Amino acid sequence: MADVLTVEHLTVAFPAREGTGEVVRDVSLAIRPGERVGLVGESGSGKSLTARAIMRLIPKPGRVTEGTVLFDGAEIDPKAAPTGWRGTKLAMITQDPLSSLNPLVRIGTQITEMLRFHRGVGRAEAKAKAIELLRSVGIPDPERTMRRFPAVLSGGMRQRVALAIAISCDPRLLIADEPTTALDVTVQAQVLGLLERMTAEHGSAVLLISHDLGVVGTFCDRLLVMYAGRIVESGPAAEVITAPAHPYAKALLASLPSLAGEVPERLPSIPGSPPHGGAAAAGCAFAPRCPVARPVCLQADPPLIEITSHGTVGGSVRHAACHAVGDETWNAA
């Protein structure tokens, strides 16, 4: 079965003082039908811009300078109008639903407009379907909610409305960009449960973007770790979380508090700061902060290397962009 989404060598750049700064660099990924993939990294790593590039929503003056996006094996024409696939085949939930919902338009109108435009159904059928969608995402009294404006709803309710709109046309892929960041833990669990149930019922694949490793670890099948605009590690979510291969992924996981064992007085932190604004530098972008970096790390940017669960080069579905991968003598030197 063909991948529902394939991204090849995607690069996004913004104007800089000297030339352009690449904020997303040579990103390649593939998502299978029904698969749940997590994209994680700290703020500014390029996660959201990757999603917006896929959806052709890059804010100006940014632009895609390289790469292709294929949906069901067919390349999406960058010059064609996105109305044939955006919202129908590919849909997106943003971090702040209040900014994605029109504050001046009632909830019911926003859902029915989507259905009438993309599905071509009549007014009565669209209204009935909208009520059904709101009920399916756990909104009490959907008929009353249809008449309300977004501002009077809570953050959790607005996110449920955004989910209802996103799944209204049964998309093949749903991109969820930090869908639970602004929610409390209880509502966060409810929204994730809804997302899991609805995508399972509709057979949709999911690209979940988050900086919360706990969320993606429980929800996703596969995990992509991003740093400074580039994917530095990928593999099954459980394996990446329990045995990360890239030094950045290791440091990121080590900085998380744990309920198991003795709680340290101070959590480990990653020294230094990530590159600013897509600033180009020779070598690995993480090298200045890496505890095991060697001179070669400052000179050559490592490619994604295929690894096994034990860290040796070989046939596997795991990859890491690190010169140390597969070199058993690296840490001993």
User: Could you give all domains of the chain from N- to C-terminal order, each with its CATH number?
Assistant: 5-225 (3.40.50.300), 282-333 (no CATH)
On whether the CB atoms of residues 50 and 223 are closer than 8 A, the answer is no
Q: What are the per-10-residue average pLDDT scores of the chain (333 residues)?
A: 90 84 93 94 91 91 92 79 79 84 95 91 95 91 96 90 90 90 78 83 90 87 95 94 92 80 77 76 89 91 80 62 79 51
Q: Which two tokens stand for residue 174?
A: 């749903």
**What was the pLDDT predicted at 10?**
96
CA atoms within 13 A on the CB side of 320: 26
Distance CA 325, CA 108 (A): 53
**What was the pLDDT predicted at 315?**
39
Instruction: Using alpha carbons, select from 67, 82, 40, 86 the residue that is nearest to residue 217.
Output: 40
**What was the pLDDT predicted at 332?**
47
**What was the pLDDT predicted at 170?**
87
Contacts of the segment 274-278: beta carbons below 8 A, 24+ positions apart: 274/42, 274/44, 274/45, 274/227, 274/228, 275/228, 277/14, 277/16, 277/21, 277/23, 278/13, 278/14, 278/16, 278/20, 278/21, 278/22, 278/23, 278/25, 278/229
Q: Whats the size of the chain, residue-wise?
A: 333
Distance CA 113, CA 127 (A): 9
Q: Which two tokens stand for residue 209?
A: 């973007």
Helices (H), 168-312: 185-202, 213-219, 237-242, 247-254, 295-299
**Global model pTM greater than 0.85:** yes
**What was the pLDDT predicted at 314?**
42
For CA atoms 281, 306, 47, 78, the dihedral sign is positive
Which of helix, strand or coil describes residue 63?
strand
